[in-house]
Amino acid sequence: MKILAIRLLGLGDVAAILVPAVRYLRREYPAAVIDVMTYRAGVELMALVDEVEAVLAVEASQWPDEIHAAIDSFTRLADLVQSRGYDRIVNLDTWFMPCFMARVLRDRGQPVAGNFISLPAADLVQQVGRRSLDGDYFLHAHRYLDSTFPGMPDWTVRWWERFDAPRGYPEFYLQHCCGFAGPLDAVLPIAADAHLVQQAGGRPVVALSLRGSRPSKQYRQGERLRTLLEEAGCFVWSGFDGSVPMQTTLARLAATQLLVTVATSTQWLARLVGCPSLLLPGPVPPAAMGAELVAARVTDCQYCQQNTCATGRDFACLDVSPEDIVSTVRSGLARL
């Protein structure tokens, strides 16, 4: 049996969703050959997962912004998938173009499970050509998303207010939305970086990941925080810009006692190697991330889940004092 699992979202989603999904598929189909299709940095990560036979890489050039070009590109990707003769194709993605590709395959009679767009692919192409399709159809998942997964209708609600998922979004998505039964396994057997341990010289190792891709993920007092942590006797390191191999980053995290991070992919990478996190959530509801430690709430409008600051305060919800963070790090290291 040959299975393909698809997840083309960002690196954090690949770490949080695709890794445990592959482990689930291995548990359900112990003799199967399992391939994955993923995107950019996720390709390097999935190459480290022993259960994966082959990684089908989607490059940035294969995901153009212009809709006609994207339809052509993802139709060719569907051709590639079909040519490999899978017995089961599981689309875990929720973005429009991967779901379009899944619909192309489904319309061709391929064994697709998971998410796909609600319109037949031929109808979509026709309506795009005539410019008769409402643009909101592409932008809002509740408009375009259909699925064989039983719980996907709950994916579009404020789920963190309604469902209990102590480990955050992966638990909600895979177990509740997708119906994957049993515990999630997302641990990679990566050895701790011996050089980093030697550098620390017995001091507790703390990693800092304080700069995400959006204004809503920028902690502005990082240098002050580093100074205070070093004065408190910690060995501090950072550098999550993709400039070193993925295995090196994971090995460094495996040697780290605590990661202090904004709500970005680094937390999910740390979880892969058993490194606990102290989350500076900003506008992200802490329940969505499931971190071991969470900084105290600092504004009344926090957890809005928005990428632009509606109050014009430039995400003041991220302005946790470095002194408070250091205090939480001290207590966290004592009990984790």
pLDDT in tens, 258-316: 999 999 999 999 999 999 999 999 999 999 999 999 999 999 889 988 888 888 788 99
Tell me which of 146, 177, 208 is where a domain ends.
Answer: 177
Give pLDDT, residue 61: 95
Structure confidence by residue, pLDDT tens digits, 43-80: 999 999 999 999 999 999 999 999 999 999 999 999 99
Average pLDDT over residues 145-161: 94
User: Is 202 in the same domain as 168?
Assistant: no
Name the more confident of 31 and 135: 31
> Which domain does 306 fall in, by range?
196-335
Distance of CA 110 to the CA centre of its chain: 27
Tens digit of pLDDT for each residue in 69-116?
Answer: 999 999 999 999 999 999 999 999 999 999 999 999 999 999 999 999
Q: What is residue 43's predicted lDDT score, i.e. its pLDDT?
A: 96
Tell whether 202 and 165 lie within a shared domain.
Answer: no
Residue 186 lies in a domain: no
Tell me what pLDDT residue 258 has: 98
Question: Which structure tokens are listed for 266?
Answer: 């680094």
Q: Which CATH number is 12's domain given? A: 3.40.50
- Among 209-223, 224-238, 288-302, top mean pLDDT goes to 224-238
The number of distinct structural domains making up the chain is: 2
Count of C-beta atoms within a 10 Å radius of residue 163: 16
pLDDT at 170 over 90: yes
Question: Do 42 and 140 lie in a common domain?
Answer: yes
pLDDT score of 11: 94
Mean pLDDT of 317-326: 96
Task: Verify that 143 and 243 share a domain, yes or no.
Answer: no
Write down the pLDDT at residue 198: 97
Averaged pLDDT of the chain: 95
Q: Give the pLDDT confidence score for residue 93 in this predicted structure.
A: 97
Distance of alpha carbon 264 from the chain centroid: 8
Q: Is the pLDDT of residue 22 over 80?
A: yes
Could you report the per-residue pLDDT of 172-195, keeping only the tens digit for each?
Answer: 999 999 999 999 999 999 999 999
212 and 136 together in one domain: no
Residues 35 and 155 in one domain: yes
Percent of the chain at pLDDT exceeding 90: 87
The verdict on 202 and 161 lying in the same domain is no
Q: Are residues 144 and 60 in the same domain?
A: yes
Task: Tell me which residue has tokens 């071991």.
Answer: 292
